[in-house]
Amino acid sequence: MAAELIRLYPENPEEKKIRQVAECLRGGGLVIYPTDTIYGLGCDIHNTKAVEKVSRIKGIKPEKNDFSFICYDLSHIADYARVSNAGFKLMKKALPGPFTFILEASNRVPRLLNTNKKTVGIRVPDNNIPRQIVRELGNPIITTSIRDEDEVIEYSTDPELIYEKFQALVDIVIDGGYGGNVPSTIIDATSDNFEIVREGLGQIEL
């Protein structure tokens, strides 16, 4: 069955549709959504089968996954990651925004994701659509970027083209307007010697 294409506006996402997306995620569904950078593919972190499906789409083994979590704000972070005072201050300054922070994972993460990874990426994007979905769901969602086979473009930006490509693989594609094609800046905050792992859209002084 083909995915449903849902139009949402970042300035004021329609509550009824946000609830529909959250219900889909609770039921193990896969959703493609806009962020403040590129479009992402995600599922509920508590649904192991959904995490496995995302891994298959990405062509990686679940235990080797490098997924990040989208949180509504920083209040969720202590549940999933260990963060120092200096790390928290930096995140508070940068988020919501186009950054992914790599942190030491709490004991919950390996059980949730069936992984042996000791770190987790945390995102709080500056886009109301994914944040409101997470708020309605009540817990973070897994997020991973949608890549394009085109070597020049690398990331798909047109939601209708994304829908054409992924409609048989996911349950909902959210059209939140054209996405960007520059990913988030990744910062390693596992220690207080903060390090930029990947230069992306976000600019910050460490």
Q: Compute CA distances 111 → 39, 46, 47, 116, whole Å.
A: 27, 9, 11, 9
Query: Per the domain annotation, does 206 fall within a domain?
Result: no
Number of folded domains that form the chain: 1
Measure the CA–CA gap between 77 and 186, rounded to whole angstroms: 17
Report if residue 174 sits inside a domain.
yes
**Vertex 77 angle, CA 6 and 114, to 5°:** 75
pLDDT in tens, 169-199: 999 999 999 999 999 999 999 999 999 999 9
Residue 9 belongs to a domain: yes
Report pTM: 0.94
Please report whether residue 37 resides in a domain. Answer: yes
Q: What is the mean pLDDT of the chain?
A: 92
Cβ atoms of 144 and 67 within 8 Å: the answer is yes
- Residue 153: its pLDDT value, please? 56
What Cα–Cα distance (Å) separates residue 134 from each residue in 29, 128, 152, 187?
A: 14, 10, 32, 22
Choice between 165 and 147, residue whose per-residue pLDDT is larger: 165
- Containing structural domain, residue 187: 4-198
What's the distance, CA 98 to chain centroid? 11
Question: Is residue 193 included in any domain, yes or no?
Answer: yes
205 in a structural domain: no
User: Which CATH number characterizes residue 180's domain?
Assistant: 3.90.870.10
Question: pLDDT tens, 117-149?
Answer: 789 999 999 999 999 999 999 999 999 998 766
Number of helices (H), then strands (E), belonging to the chain: the values are 7, 11
Does any domain span residue 62? yes
Residue 87 located in a structural domain: yes
Say if residue 166's pLDDT is above 70. yes
pLDDT of residue 111: 76
